[in-house]
Structure 1
Amino acid sequence: MSPTTHRLAPALGLTALLISLLVALTPSAARADDPPADPDPMAGAPTVGTCSRMTFDEATQYSAPDATYDCTTRHTTKIVALGTLPDGVSWDQPAKVKAAVGEACGPAWQEFSGTDPLRFTRSLLTGWWFAPSQEQQDAGARWIRCDESLTAGQKLVTVKTKAYAKVTKRAIPNSVGRCVTSKYAYTLCSAPHAWKHTGAFYAKKVSDNQAKGQKQLERKAKKGCPSRVKGNSYVWSQHYRGHHTYVIVCYSKD
Protein backbone atom coordinates (compact mmCIF):
# COMPACT_ATOMS: atom_id res chain seq x y z
CA MET A 1 0.00 0.00 0.00
CA SER A 2 1.16 3.54 -0.53
CA PRO A 3 -0.15 6.78 0.95
CA THR A 4 -1.56 9.19 -1.58
CA THR A 5 -1.88 12.94 -1.28
CA HIS A 6 -5.14 14.60 -2.22
CA ARG A 7 -4.39 18.19 -3.21
CA LEU A 8 -7.52 19.82 -4.57
CA ALA A 9 -7.63 23.09 -6.41
CA PRO A 10 -10.48 25.42 -5.58
CA ALA A 11 -13.10 25.48 -8.31
CA LEU A 12 -13.86 28.80 -9.99
CA GLY A 13 -17.56 28.72 -9.22
CA LEU A 14 -19.41 31.42 -7.37
CA THR A 15 -22.88 31.30 -5.84
CA ALA A 16 -25.05 34.23 -6.76
CA LEU A 17 -26.56 36.12 -3.87
CA LEU A 18 -30.15 37.32 -3.75
CA ILE A 19 -30.05 40.83 -2.31
CA SER A 20 -33.20 42.35 -0.88
CA LEU A 21 -33.16 46.12 -0.55
CA LEU A 22 -35.23 47.42 2.34
CA VAL A 23 -35.98 51.12 2.25
CA ALA A 24 -37.16 52.55 5.56
CA LEU A 25 -39.67 55.36 5.44
CA THR A 26 -37.60 57.72 7.56
CA PRO A 27 -35.79 60.99 6.79
CA SER A 28 -32.43 59.19 7.07
CA ALA A 29 -33.28 56.45 4.56
CA ALA A 30 -31.06 56.19 1.47
CA ARG A 31 -32.66 57.64 -1.64
CA ALA A 32 -32.78 55.75 -4.92
CA ASP A 33 -30.83 58.51 -6.66
CA ASP A 34 -28.01 58.59 -4.09
CA PRO A 35 -24.63 57.72 -5.67
CA PRO A 36 -23.37 54.17 -4.97
CA ALA A 37 -20.58 53.70 -2.47
CA ASP A 38 -17.07 53.67 -3.89
CA PRO A 39 -15.77 50.13 -4.53
CA ASP A 40 -13.47 48.91 -1.77
CA PRO A 41 -10.79 46.50 -3.09
CA MET A 42 -10.11 45.30 0.47
CA ALA A 43 -13.76 44.86 1.50
CA GLY A 44 -13.95 42.08 4.08
CA ALA A 45 -10.25 41.25 3.85
CA PRO A 46 -8.80 39.27 6.78
CA THR A 47 -5.66 40.22 8.68
CA VAL A 48 -2.32 38.65 7.82
CA GLY A 49 -0.95 36.76 10.81
CA THR A 50 -4.33 35.56 12.07
CA CYS A 51 -5.46 31.94 11.83
CA SER A 52 -8.55 29.91 10.95
CA ARG A 53 -10.19 26.69 12.09
CA MET A 54 -11.49 25.65 8.70
CA THR A 55 -11.86 22.01 7.70
CA PHE A 56 -10.28 20.32 4.70
CA ASP A 57 -13.57 20.54 2.80
CA GLU A 58 -13.77 24.27 3.53
CA ALA A 59 -10.18 24.71 2.40
CA THR A 60 -11.04 23.31 -1.04
CA GLN A 61 -13.71 25.97 -1.62
CA TYR A 62 -13.27 29.17 -3.63
CA SER A 63 -13.85 31.42 -0.60
CA ALA A 64 -12.84 30.78 3.02
CA PRO A 65 -14.94 31.18 6.17
CA ASP A 66 -14.67 34.73 7.55
CA ALA A 67 -13.92 33.74 11.16
CA THR A 68 -10.30 34.16 12.27
CA TYR A 69 -8.53 33.51 15.57
CA ASP A 70 -5.36 34.31 17.44
CA CYS A 71 -2.68 31.88 16.31
CA THR A 72 -1.74 31.01 19.90
CA THR A 73 -5.06 29.13 20.09
CA ARG A 74 -5.85 25.94 18.19
CA HIS A 75 -6.10 26.43 14.44
CA THR A 76 -5.72 24.64 11.12
CA THR A 77 -4.44 27.35 8.76
CA LYS A 78 -2.53 30.60 9.05
CA ILE A 79 -3.03 33.62 6.80
CA VAL A 80 0.48 34.36 5.55
CA ALA A 81 -0.12 36.97 2.84
CA LEU A 82 -2.68 39.11 1.03
CA GLY A 83 -2.49 40.31 -2.55
CA THR A 84 -4.80 41.96 -5.05
CA LEU A 85 -5.87 41.28 -8.60
CA PRO A 86 -4.01 43.51 -11.07
CA ASP A 87 -5.98 46.28 -12.75
CA GLY A 88 -7.90 44.97 -15.73
CA VAL A 89 -8.09 41.39 -14.42
CA SER A 90 -11.45 39.97 -13.33
CA TRP A 91 -12.34 36.87 -11.33
CA ASP A 92 -13.74 35.15 -14.43
CA GLN A 93 -10.28 35.00 -16.07
CA PRO A 94 -8.81 31.79 -14.56
CA ALA A 95 -5.38 31.94 -16.20
CA LYS A 96 -4.79 35.54 -15.16
CA VAL A 97 -6.14 34.89 -11.67
CA LYS A 98 -3.76 31.93 -11.35
CA ALA A 99 -0.83 34.15 -12.32
CA ALA A 100 -1.92 36.76 -9.77
CA VAL A 101 -2.14 34.07 -7.08
CA GLY A 102 1.42 33.02 -7.85
CA GLU A 103 2.62 36.60 -7.47
CA ALA A 104 0.65 37.18 -4.27
CA CYS A 105 1.13 33.86 -2.49
CA GLY A 106 4.24 32.23 -3.92
CA PRO A 107 6.86 34.10 -1.87
CA ALA A 108 4.95 33.58 1.40
CA TRP A 109 4.44 29.86 0.75
CA GLN A 110 8.10 29.45 -0.19
CA GLU A 111 9.13 31.16 3.02
CA PHE A 112 7.95 28.01 4.81
CA SER A 113 8.46 25.22 2.28
CA GLY A 114 11.38 26.43 0.19
CA THR A 115 11.49 25.92 -3.56
CA ASP A 116 12.79 22.36 -3.92
CA PRO A 117 9.99 19.82 -4.55
CA LEU A 118 12.30 17.02 -3.42
CA ARG A 119 12.38 18.71 -0.02
CA PHE A 120 8.93 20.18 0.53
CA THR A 121 7.05 17.05 -0.58
CA ARG A 122 8.65 15.37 2.44
CA SER A 123 6.66 17.75 4.64
CA LEU A 124 2.93 18.23 5.23
CA LEU A 125 3.15 21.96 4.50
CA THR A 126 0.44 23.03 2.05
CA GLY A 127 -0.44 26.39 0.54
CA TRP A 128 -4.04 27.44 -0.08
CA TRP A 129 -5.54 30.54 -1.68
CA PHE A 130 -9.00 32.06 -1.49
CA ALA A 131 -11.01 34.74 -3.26
CA PRO A 132 -13.51 37.11 -1.64
CA SER A 133 -17.10 35.90 -1.31
CA GLN A 134 -19.59 37.05 -3.92
CA GLU A 135 -20.99 39.59 -1.45
CA GLN A 136 -17.49 40.97 -0.85
CA GLN A 137 -16.81 41.08 -4.59
CA ASP A 138 -20.04 43.00 -5.08
CA ALA A 139 -18.61 45.57 -2.65
CA GLY A 140 -15.51 45.84 -4.84
CA ALA A 141 -13.20 43.32 -3.12
CA ARG A 142 -10.19 42.29 -5.23
CA TRP A 143 -7.97 40.74 -2.57
CA ILE A 144 -6.34 37.32 -2.71
CA ARG A 145 -5.91 35.46 0.56
CA CYS A 146 -2.94 33.11 1.04
CA ASP A 147 -2.97 30.47 3.79
CA GLU A 148 -0.52 27.82 4.98
CA SER A 149 -1.48 24.56 6.66
CA LEU A 150 -0.25 21.11 7.58
CA THR A 151 -2.31 18.67 5.52
CA ALA A 152 -2.42 14.93 6.22
CA GLY A 153 -4.39 13.32 3.40
CA GLN A 154 -7.86 14.87 3.53
CA LYS A 155 -7.44 16.42 6.96
CA LEU A 156 -5.96 19.70 8.13
CA VAL A 157 -3.79 19.18 11.20
CA THR A 158 -4.84 21.21 14.24
CA VAL A 159 -1.94 23.01 15.93
CA LYS A 160 -1.38 25.73 18.52
CA THR A 161 2.02 26.95 17.37
CA LYS A 162 2.16 30.59 16.29
CA ALA A 163 4.42 29.78 13.32
CA TYR A 164 5.16 26.65 11.33
CA ALA A 165 8.74 25.40 11.23
CA LYS A 166 10.49 25.91 7.90
CA VAL A 167 11.85 23.36 5.46
CA THR A 168 15.48 24.19 4.66
CA LYS A 169 18.28 22.65 2.62
CA ARG A 170 19.65 21.11 5.80
CA ALA A 171 16.57 20.04 7.73
CA ILE A 172 12.92 19.05 7.53
CA PRO A 173 11.73 19.55 11.13
CA ASN A 174 9.65 16.75 12.63
CA SER A 175 6.96 19.30 13.49
CA VAL A 176 6.19 19.63 9.76
CA GLY A 177 7.72 16.40 8.40
CA ARG A 178 5.68 13.81 6.50
CA CYS A 179 5.51 10.42 8.20
CA VAL A 180 3.23 7.40 7.82
CA THR A 181 1.33 5.43 10.47
CA SER A 182 1.06 1.65 10.73
CA LYS A 183 -2.32 2.03 9.00
CA TYR A 184 -0.66 3.81 6.07
CA ALA A 185 -2.06 7.26 6.79
CA TYR A 186 -0.04 10.46 6.75
CA THR A 187 0.90 12.06 10.05
CA LEU A 188 3.46 14.49 11.40
CA CYS A 189 6.84 13.02 12.26
CA SER A 190 6.46 14.61 15.71
CA ALA A 191 3.44 12.33 16.27
CA PRO A 192 3.47 8.54 16.72
CA HIS A 193 4.34 6.92 13.38
CA ALA A 194 5.68 3.74 11.81
CA TRP A 195 7.55 5.12 8.80
CA LYS A 196 9.61 8.28 8.25
CA HIS A 197 10.62 10.00 5.00
CA THR A 198 14.28 9.38 4.18
CA GLY A 199 14.53 10.35 0.53
CA ALA A 200 12.76 11.50 -2.62
CA PHE A 201 13.33 11.50 -6.38
CA TYR A 202 11.64 12.52 -9.63
CA ALA A 203 9.63 10.06 -11.71
CA LYS A 204 9.33 11.50 -15.22
CA LYS A 205 7.50 10.62 -18.44
CA VAL A 206 4.64 8.96 -16.55
CA SER A 207 1.66 7.97 -18.68
CA ASP A 208 -1.64 9.84 -18.42
CA ASN A 209 -3.41 6.48 -18.46
CA GLN A 210 -4.17 5.79 -14.80
CA ALA A 211 -3.49 2.04 -14.81
CA LYS A 212 -0.38 2.29 -16.98
CA GLY A 213 0.93 5.31 -15.08
CA GLN A 214 0.49 3.60 -11.71
CA LYS A 215 2.44 0.56 -12.88
CA GLN A 216 5.22 2.86 -14.08
CA LEU A 217 5.34 4.58 -10.70
CA GLU A 218 5.47 1.25 -8.88
CA ARG A 219 8.41 0.14 -11.03
CA LYS A 220 10.21 3.44 -10.49
CA ALA A 221 9.63 3.27 -6.71
CA LYS A 222 10.92 -0.32 -6.61
CA LYS A 223 14.05 0.80 -8.42
CA GLY A 224 14.63 4.15 -6.71
CA CYS A 225 13.63 3.68 -3.07
CA PRO A 226 15.97 0.90 -1.86
CA SER A 227 19.00 3.22 -2.04
CA ARG A 228 17.09 5.92 -0.15
CA VAL A 229 15.83 3.92 2.82
CA LYS A 230 17.27 2.14 5.83
CA GLY A 231 16.62 -1.57 6.19
CA ASN A 232 14.92 -4.01 3.86
CA SER A 233 11.35 -2.69 3.98
CA TYR A 234 9.87 0.63 2.98
CA VAL A 235 6.71 2.41 1.85
CA TRP A 236 6.44 5.18 -0.72
CA SER A 237 4.08 7.91 -1.88
CA GLN A 238 3.59 9.78 -5.14
CA HIS A 239 3.08 13.53 -5.57
CA TYR A 240 2.14 14.98 -8.96
CA ARG A 241 4.19 17.96 -10.15
CA GLY A 242 2.72 18.44 -13.63
CA HIS A 243 3.96 17.62 -17.15
CA HIS A 244 3.93 13.84 -16.60
CA THR A 245 6.26 14.23 -13.62
CA TYR A 246 5.87 13.01 -10.03
CA VAL A 247 7.97 13.15 -6.89
CA ILE A 248 8.23 9.77 -5.19
CA VAL A 249 8.90 9.95 -1.44
CA CYS A 250 10.48 6.92 0.22
CA TYR A 251 9.91 6.07 3.90
CA SER A 252 12.04 3.90 6.19
CA LYS A 253 10.78 1.92 9.18
CA ASP A 254 11.19 4.18 12.20
Structure 2
Amino acid sequence: MTRSTWSVVATAIAMLITTAAALPAGASQSADPLAGAPGVGECRAYTIEDREGMHESSPAVDCAGPHTALVVAVEIVPKRIKLTGKPSARLQRFVSRTCKDPWNAAIGASHRQTHLVVYTASWFAPSKAQVKAGARWIRCDVNAYDDRELGNLPVTTPFVSGGIDPGDRRCLTRKRNVVPCTSSHTWISRGVVTAPDGRYSVARQDAFAKRRCPKVIKRADRRFLWWRVSEASWKSGERHITCYGNGG
Protein backbone atom coordinates (compact mmCIF):
# COMPACT_ATOMS: atom_id res chain seq x y z
CA MET A 1 0.00 0.00 0.00
CA THR A 2 1.41 3.39 -0.99
CA ARG A 3 1.85 6.34 1.37
CA SER A 4 -0.92 8.24 -0.45
CA THR A 5 -3.33 5.31 -0.02
CA TRP A 6 -2.59 5.17 3.70
CA SER A 7 -3.31 8.88 3.84
CA VAL A 8 -6.78 8.35 2.31
CA VAL A 9 -7.56 5.45 4.69
CA ALA A 10 -6.38 7.44 7.72
CA THR A 11 -8.56 10.38 6.66
CA ALA A 12 -11.60 8.09 6.27
CA ILE A 13 -11.02 6.53 9.70
CA ALA A 14 -10.68 9.98 11.24
CA MET A 15 -13.96 11.08 9.66
CA LEU A 16 -15.78 7.98 11.02
CA ILE A 17 -14.41 8.59 14.51
CA THR A 18 -15.46 12.24 14.34
CA THR A 19 -18.98 11.31 13.16
CA ALA A 20 -19.41 8.67 15.87
CA ALA A 21 -18.20 11.10 18.51
CA ALA A 22 -20.77 13.66 17.34
CA LEU A 23 -23.68 11.28 18.00
CA PRO A 24 -25.20 11.42 21.49
CA ALA A 25 -24.86 8.31 23.62
CA GLY A 26 -27.47 5.68 22.75
CA ALA A 27 -28.56 7.51 19.57
CA SER A 28 -29.47 5.51 16.49
CA GLN A 29 -28.91 6.59 12.91
CA SER A 30 -32.30 5.12 11.93
CA ALA A 31 -35.35 5.39 14.20
CA ASP A 32 -37.21 2.14 14.83
CA PRO A 33 -41.01 2.61 14.96
CA LEU A 34 -41.32 -0.82 16.63
CA ALA A 35 -38.62 -0.25 19.27
CA GLY A 36 -39.58 -2.27 22.34
CA ALA A 37 -42.84 -3.51 20.84
CA PRO A 38 -44.25 -6.86 22.06
CA GLY A 39 -45.22 -9.69 19.73
CA VAL A 40 -48.82 -10.43 18.82
CA GLY A 41 -49.93 -13.56 20.66
CA GLU A 42 -47.74 -12.95 23.71
CA CYS A 43 -49.31 -13.45 27.13
CA ARG A 44 -48.59 -11.26 30.16
CA ALA A 45 -49.36 -11.38 33.87
CA TYR A 46 -49.96 -7.88 35.24
CA THR A 47 -52.32 -6.29 37.74
CA ILE A 48 -55.36 -4.08 37.40
CA GLU A 49 -53.19 -1.16 38.60
CA ASP A 50 -50.71 -1.83 35.77
CA ARG A 51 -53.62 -1.78 33.33
CA GLU A 52 -54.45 1.79 34.28
CA GLY A 53 -51.12 3.13 33.01
CA MET A 54 -50.32 4.18 29.45
CA HIS A 55 -47.23 1.94 29.32
CA GLU A 56 -46.87 -1.64 30.57
CA SER A 57 -43.59 -3.57 30.59
CA SER A 58 -44.14 -6.96 32.23
CA PRO A 59 -42.30 -9.91 30.62
CA ALA A 60 -44.05 -12.42 28.38
CA VAL A 61 -45.27 -15.59 30.13
CA ASP A 62 -46.34 -19.04 28.97
CA CYS A 63 -49.91 -18.82 27.64
CA ALA A 64 -50.57 -22.36 28.93
CA GLY A 65 -50.13 -21.08 32.49
CA PRO A 66 -51.84 -18.31 34.49
CA HIS A 67 -51.97 -15.00 32.63
CA THR A 68 -54.07 -11.85 32.82
CA ALA A 69 -53.44 -10.43 29.34
CA LEU A 70 -53.16 -11.45 25.72
CA VAL A 71 -51.56 -9.14 23.11
CA VAL A 72 -53.90 -9.23 20.11
CA ALA A 73 -52.48 -6.46 17.89
CA VAL A 74 -49.52 -4.10 17.49
CA GLU A 75 -49.82 -1.22 15.01
CA ILE A 76 -47.67 1.79 14.06
CA VAL A 77 -49.26 5.16 14.84
CA PRO A 78 -49.10 7.94 12.20
CA LYS A 79 -46.60 10.69 13.01
CA ARG A 80 -49.33 13.35 13.16
CA ILE A 81 -50.65 11.72 16.36
CA LYS A 82 -48.83 12.52 19.60
CA LEU A 83 -47.87 9.51 21.73
CA THR A 84 -46.68 11.23 24.90
CA GLY A 85 -48.63 13.10 27.56
CA LYS A 86 -52.37 12.75 28.08
CA PRO A 87 -53.99 10.67 25.31
CA SER A 88 -55.62 12.95 22.76
CA ALA A 89 -59.03 12.38 21.19
CA ARG A 90 -57.22 11.69 17.91
CA LEU A 91 -55.13 8.94 19.53
CA GLN A 92 -58.22 7.49 21.20
CA ARG A 93 -59.99 7.31 17.84
CA PHE A 94 -56.96 5.61 16.25
CA VAL A 95 -56.84 3.05 19.05
CA SER A 96 -60.58 2.38 18.74
CA ARG A 97 -60.35 1.81 14.96
CA THR A 98 -57.15 -0.26 15.19
CA CYS A 99 -57.92 -2.48 18.17
CA LYS A 100 -61.66 -3.05 17.80
CA ASP A 101 -61.59 -5.98 15.36
CA PRO A 102 -58.66 -7.85 17.03
CA TRP A 103 -60.30 -7.36 20.44
CA ASN A 104 -63.64 -8.69 19.24
CA ALA A 105 -62.04 -11.61 17.37
CA ALA A 106 -60.10 -12.74 20.46
CA ILE A 107 -63.18 -12.49 22.68
CA GLY A 108 -65.40 -14.10 20.04
CA ALA A 109 -68.17 -11.55 20.27
CA SER A 110 -69.56 -8.60 18.37
CA HIS A 111 -68.82 -5.12 19.65
CA ARG A 112 -72.31 -4.95 21.12
CA GLN A 113 -71.87 -8.30 22.90
CA THR A 114 -68.54 -7.27 24.43
CA HIS A 115 -70.51 -5.06 26.83
CA LEU A 116 -72.19 -8.18 28.23
CA VAL A 117 -69.08 -10.26 28.92
CA VAL A 118 -66.45 -10.15 31.66
CA TYR A 119 -63.66 -9.60 29.12
CA THR A 120 -62.31 -6.12 28.59
CA ALA A 121 -59.87 -4.32 26.32
CA SER A 122 -56.68 -2.46 27.13
CA TRP A 123 -54.12 -0.57 25.12
CA PHE A 124 -50.62 0.70 25.76
CA ALA A 125 -48.09 3.04 24.14
CA PRO A 126 -44.26 2.99 24.20
CA SER A 127 -42.33 4.34 27.18
CA LYS A 128 -40.70 7.78 26.93
CA ALA A 129 -37.33 6.11 26.30
CA GLN A 130 -38.80 4.00 23.51
CA VAL A 131 -40.48 7.03 21.94
CA LYS A 132 -37.10 8.80 22.06
CA ALA A 133 -35.64 5.82 20.18
CA GLY A 134 -38.28 6.29 17.47
CA ALA A 135 -41.05 3.97 18.67
CA ARG A 136 -44.47 4.77 17.14
CA TRP A 137 -46.55 1.72 18.10
CA ILE A 138 -49.64 1.00 20.13
CA ARG A 139 -50.42 -2.39 21.65
CA CYS A 140 -53.90 -3.89 22.02
CA ASP A 141 -54.49 -6.36 24.91
CA VAL A 142 -57.47 -8.36 26.13
CA ASN A 143 -58.09 -8.89 29.87
CA ALA A 144 -60.86 -10.17 32.14
CA TYR A 145 -62.28 -8.46 35.21
CA ASP A 146 -62.62 -10.40 38.46
CA ASP A 147 -63.85 -8.14 41.25
CA ARG A 148 -60.96 -5.81 42.20
CA GLU A 149 -58.39 -7.80 40.23
CA LEU A 150 -57.74 -9.02 36.71
CA GLY A 151 -58.85 -12.61 36.21
CA ASN A 152 -57.00 -15.45 34.53
CA LEU A 153 -57.73 -15.77 30.80
CA PRO A 154 -58.66 -18.96 28.93
CA VAL A 155 -55.80 -20.69 27.13
CA THR A 156 -57.37 -20.53 23.66
CA THR A 157 -59.30 -17.96 21.63
CA PRO A 158 -62.02 -17.09 20.99
CA PHE A 159 -62.99 -16.96 24.66
CA VAL A 160 -66.74 -16.96 23.96
CA SER A 161 -67.96 -19.87 21.86
CA GLY A 162 -71.54 -19.55 20.66
CA GLY A 163 -73.81 -18.21 23.41
CA ILE A 164 -72.53 -16.28 26.42
CA ASP A 165 -72.40 -18.73 29.34
CA PRO A 166 -72.29 -17.71 33.05
CA GLY A 167 -68.48 -17.96 33.17
CA ASP A 168 -68.24 -15.39 30.37
CA ARG A 169 -71.17 -13.12 31.24
CA ARG A 170 -70.56 -9.87 33.09
CA CYS A 171 -72.12 -9.47 36.51
CA LEU A 172 -71.66 -6.84 39.23
CA THR A 173 -71.13 -7.21 42.95
CA ARG A 174 -73.03 -5.11 45.47
CA LYS A 175 -70.13 -2.61 45.26
CA ARG A 176 -70.46 -2.54 41.44
CA ASN A 177 -67.24 -4.46 40.77
CA VAL A 178 -67.25 -6.67 37.66
CA VAL A 179 -67.18 -10.45 38.15
CA PRO A 180 -68.09 -13.47 36.03
CA CYS A 181 -71.63 -14.56 36.78
CA THR A 182 -70.31 -17.85 38.23
CA SER A 183 -69.10 -15.74 41.19
CA SER A 184 -71.29 -14.20 43.88
CA HIS A 185 -73.08 -11.19 42.37
CA THR A 186 -75.98 -8.79 42.76
CA TRP A 187 -76.53 -7.60 39.18
CA ILE A 188 -76.42 -9.42 35.83
CA SER A 189 -75.93 -7.84 32.40
CA ARG A 190 -79.15 -8.21 30.40
CA GLY A 191 -78.74 -6.13 27.29
CA VAL A 192 -77.44 -3.01 25.58
CA VAL A 193 -79.21 0.16 24.43
CA THR A 194 -77.70 2.65 22.01
CA ALA A 195 -77.72 6.29 23.08
CA PRO A 196 -78.35 8.96 20.43
CA ASP A 197 -75.47 11.07 19.15
CA GLY A 198 -74.82 14.50 20.60
CA ARG A 199 -72.61 16.12 23.20
CA TYR A 200 -71.41 14.04 26.13
CA SER A 201 -73.85 14.33 29.03
CA VAL A 202 -74.34 12.12 32.09
CA ALA A 203 -77.86 13.51 32.58
CA ARG A 204 -78.87 12.70 28.98
CA GLN A 205 -77.50 9.17 29.29
CA ASP A 206 -79.38 8.61 32.54
CA ALA A 207 -82.66 9.89 31.13
CA PHE A 208 -82.26 7.70 28.04
CA ALA A 209 -81.36 4.58 30.08
CA LYS A 210 -84.35 5.04 32.39
CA ARG A 211 -86.63 4.96 29.34
CA ARG A 212 -84.95 2.16 27.40
CA CYS A 213 -83.46 -0.34 29.87
CA PRO A 214 -86.90 -1.66 30.96
CA LYS A 215 -87.25 -3.05 27.42
CA VAL A 216 -84.19 -5.32 27.72
CA ILE A 217 -84.30 -6.53 31.35
CA LYS A 218 -86.25 -9.65 32.37
CA ARG A 219 -89.55 -9.92 34.23
CA ALA A 220 -87.70 -11.49 37.15
CA ASP A 221 -85.73 -8.27 37.63
CA ARG A 222 -87.31 -6.22 40.37
CA ARG A 223 -84.79 -3.43 39.90
CA PHE A 224 -82.34 -2.37 37.24
CA LEU A 225 -79.35 -0.09 36.77
CA TRP A 226 -77.12 0.87 33.87
CA TRP A 227 -73.46 1.36 33.02
CA ARG A 228 -72.84 4.71 31.36
CA VAL A 229 -70.40 5.47 28.54
CA SER A 230 -67.31 7.29 29.84
CA GLU A 231 -66.41 10.67 28.39
CA ALA A 232 -63.24 9.28 26.75
CA SER A 233 -65.18 6.41 25.17
CA TRP A 234 -67.92 8.78 24.02
CA LYS A 235 -65.31 10.91 22.22
CA SER A 236 -64.03 7.81 20.44
CA GLY A 237 -67.55 7.02 19.18
CA GLU A 238 -68.94 4.63 21.81
CA ARG A 239 -72.72 4.92 22.37
CA HIS A 240 -73.67 1.62 24.06
CA ILE A 241 -75.15 1.71 27.58
CA THR A 242 -75.32 -1.66 29.37
CA CYS A 243 -78.46 -2.51 31.38
CA TYR A 244 -78.31 -4.76 34.45
CA GLY A 245 -81.11 -6.52 36.34
CA ASN A 246 -81.13 -8.09 39.80
CA GLY A 247 -83.23 -11.18 39.07
CA GLY A 248 -80.36 -13.65 39.54
With structure 1 as the length reference, what TM-score do the two structures score? 0.69
Instruction: Call closer, same or farther: CA 1:84–1:216 in 2, change over 3 Å.
Output: same
The one-letter amino acid of 2:152's match is V
Instruction: Call closer, same or farther: CA 1:215–1:179 in 2, change over 3 Å.
Output: closer
Consecutive unaligned residues of structure 2, counting only runs of 5 or more, are 1-18
Query: Greater RCO between the two (CA within 8 Å, min separation 6)?
Result: 1
Instruction: Call closer, same or farther: CA 1:31–1:199 in 2, change over 3 Å.
Output: closer
Which has a greater percent of helix? 2
Consecutive unaligned residues of structure 1, counting only runs of 5 or more, are 1-29
Within 1, Cα distance between the matches of 2:64 and 2:205?
Answer: 42
Within 1, Cα distance between the matches of 2:165 and 2:55?
Answer: 31
Aligned-pair CA distance for 1:51: 2.0
The one-letter amino acid of 1:216's match is A
Task: Tell me how many residue pairs correspond in the alignment.
Answer: 220
Within 1, Cα distance between the matches of 2:63 and 2:238?
Answer: 38
Say yes or no: does 1:173 pair with 2:200.
Answer: no
Instruction: Call closer, same or farther: CA 1:216–1:250 in 2, change over 3 Å.
Output: same
Please identify the structure whose Cα radius of gyration is greater. 2
Within 1, Cα distance between the matches of 2:194 and 2:22?
Answer: 63
Aligned-pair CA distance for 1:238: 1.8
Within 2, Cα distance between the matches of 1:89 and 1:122?
Answer: 32
Within 1, Cα distance between the matches of 2:221 and 2:137?
Answer: 51
Aligned-pair CA distance for 1:103: 4.2
Kindly indicate whether the alpha-carbon contact (under 8 Å) linking 1:202 and 1:247 is maintained by their aligned counterparts in 2: yes
Kindly indicate whether the alpha-carbon contact (under 8 Å) linking 1:74 and 1:159 is maintained by their aligned counterparts in 2: yes
Match of 2:151 in 1: 158
Match of 2:207 in 1: 216
Within 1, Cα distance between the matches of 2:53 and 2:212?
Answer: 33
Aligned-pair CA distance for 1:204: 4.3
Structure 1 stretches of 4+ with a deviation exceeding 6 A read none
With structure 2 as the length reference, what TM-score do the two structures score? 0.70
Match of 1:140 in 2: 134
Q: For residues 35-54 of structure 1, what are the structure 2 equivalents within 5 Å?
A: 36-37=27-28, 38-54=30-46
Q: CA RMSD in A?
A: 3.5
Within 1, Cα distance between the matches of 2:92 and 2:199?
Answer: 26
Within 2, Cα distance between the matches of 1:163 and 1:108?
Answer: 14
